[in-house]
Amino acid sequence: MVSQALQERATTLLALHVPGKPVVLPTVWDAWSATVAVDAGFAALTVGSHPVADSVGKEDGEGMSFDDLTTRVAQITGAVDVPISVDVESGYGESAQRLIDGLLEAGAVGLNIEDTVHKDGGRIRSDEDHAALIGELRKAADAAGVHVVINARTDLFLRQIGDESDRFERAVRKLKLAAEAGADSLYPVGRHDDDTYRRLADELPLPINAIALPDTDDPASFGPLGVGRISFGPFWQRALTARSEEILARWK
């Protein structure tokens, strides 16, 4: 049986998603980065697959295993006392039940699930298949007694899948099906212009996740666009890498 603390963290995480007043979830990769973010005042975090993979010497795109990821997540949840969401890529070939059980055991209460199937040549899941997986995740979470916050991601924009003329409409259709299946927020991953964010916020029924460059983007710019959630992907880690290179170059 899951703890009341996990249930409360999931409820807290879900309530933070407010269109127009986005929650900022710094994307962390280990206990150190998580502690830095919490000490800076952030109320919740997301664990990014890309920076975690980099930190353990493996490739993004499911070069690590689900066990690799949950081992790191458990270290993070052991170091900070805030709700944690986790990028599980396309699921590492695991069942929905295994994904939910593994995340809850590691102390996480949210997840990103994307539609690029890395273990099958990088194909894109169909709209219906992606929605079906989200439905299975919701069912498994409900059975566990925790409203795990599901952030449904599509890579149609990021990978420029299909013709540009109807890409927006195809992405909206996929994300609407994800919402109907039990998602809590929607992630049309990519760097979009203001008009696109406004259209997405207008047409989608749930809060949308925007990716931000933490060292250069204006934090106040996303709320007026209707965004409900902001994360950094690998870009906080990359900004720290660039700064570290500057520091270390003085000592060559």
Using alpha carbons, select from 211, 140, 228 the residue that is nearest to residue 182. 140
CA distance 209 to 235: 15
Determine the 3-state secondary structure of 211 from DSSP: strand
Q: How far does Cα 89 stand from its chain's mean position?
A: 9
Q: What is the pLDDT of residue 92?
A: 97
Q: Which residues in the chain come in under a pLDDT of 70?
A: 1-2
Altogether, the residues listed in the chain come to a count of 252
Question: Quick one: pLDDT at residue 3?
Answer: 82
Strand partners, 124: 116
SS3 state of residue 24: strand
The domain limits of the chain are 4-235
Burial state string for 86-115 with b = 16 or more CB within 10 A and e = fewer than 16: bbbbbbbebebeebbbbbbebbbbbbbbbb
Domain 4-235, CATH homologous superfamily name and number: Phosphoenolpyruvate-binding domains (3.20.20.60)
